[in-house]
Amino acid sequence: MLAFATLTRLGTVTANGSDVDRFRRRTLHDGEPAWAPDGSRLAFTGQPQSTDPNNVFILGCGACAVAELTFRGGIQPAWSSTDRVAFTRRGNIYTMASDAKRAKRLTFKGGTQADWSPHASKLAFVRRGNIYIVRRSGKGLKKITGKGGTDPVWSPNGKQLAFVRGGSIYVVGTNKRGLGQLAAPQALVPLTAGESVRLASPSWQPTH
């Protein structure tokens, strides 16, 4: 099952493209869905009113009521295998349990686009255009890239990261070794003047 966002609403669709379910809108702009580890809930970003900041909400099903997780701002939710939600607030990363009332600040010098490692012991994130890794305690900060990188995602075994650089997808080991380009953009249709092709938002899943 895949979760997706349209302009203002969320939805799900099975992996073969059937059974599309577009949820009714819960806030002015519902977006950035992230699955719970057991697949039973979605965290998402929403804006209740035009004067409100974006916050993270939790939805149990398409017809269920929503629960607001953050109240002081939150975007880019990422749900760990141990039921903690990481999110970005004012340019830094915070984490909290899905049933908690208070968040823990993880970074103090910038951080966005957090992604949990498979066993939720570490997070990859972006700071000043490069990829970093930090333990869930906030210690053990390590800079992985030095020539740019965004949208980091962990490999299923936790030994590599995929990320975006210059519109292409790259992979690198968490030991900073083995950097290589995985996919370069290719135009499938003729482009007009001023148009370009860029890859973005990789997702890395195990195969069975």
Question: How many structural domains is the chain composed of?
Answer: 2
Choose one of 105, 133, 150: the last residue of a domain: 105
Tell me: do 101 and 3 sit in the same domain: yes
Tell me: do 87 and 126 sit in the same domain: no
Tell me: do 91 and 163 sit in the same domain: no
Mapping DSSP onto H, E and C, the string for the chain reads: CEEEECCCCEEEECCCCCCCEECCCCCCCCEEEEECCCCCCEEEEECCCCCCCCEEEEECCCCCCEEECCCCCCEEEEECCCCEEEEEECCEEEEEECCCCCCEECCCCCCEEEEECCCCCEEEEEECCEEEEEECCCCCCEECCCCCCEEEEECCCCCEEEEEECCEEEEEECCCCCCEEEECCCCCCCCCCCCCCCCCCCCCCCCC
Tell me: do 53 and 69 sit in the same domain: yes
The boundaries of the domain holding residue 156 are: 112-208
Tell me: do 26 and 70 sit in the same domain: yes
Choose one of 105, 136, 169: the last residue of a domain: 105
Q: According to the model, what pLDDT value does residue 97 have?
A: 96
Q: For every one of its 208 residues, what pLDDT tens digit does the chain have, with 9 covering 90 and above? A: 899 999 899 999 998 999 999 999 999 999 999 999 999 999 999 999 999 999 999 998 767 789 999 999 999 999 999 999 999 999 999 999 999 999 999 999 999 999 999 999 999 999 999 999 999 999 999 999 999 999 999 999 999 999 999 999 999 999 999 999 999 888 767 778 878 788 889 999 887 6
Tell me: do 31 and 129 sit in the same domain: no
> In CATH, what number is assigned to the domain containing residue 127?
2.120.10.30
Tell me: do 165 and 197 sit in the same domain: yes
Tell me: do 67 and 89 sit in the same domain: yes
Q: According to the model, what pLDDT value does residue 62 have?
A: 67
Q: According to the model, what pLDDT value does residue 208 have?
A: 64
Tell me: do 93 and 133 sit in the same domain: no
Tell me: do 78 and 97 sit in the same domain: yes
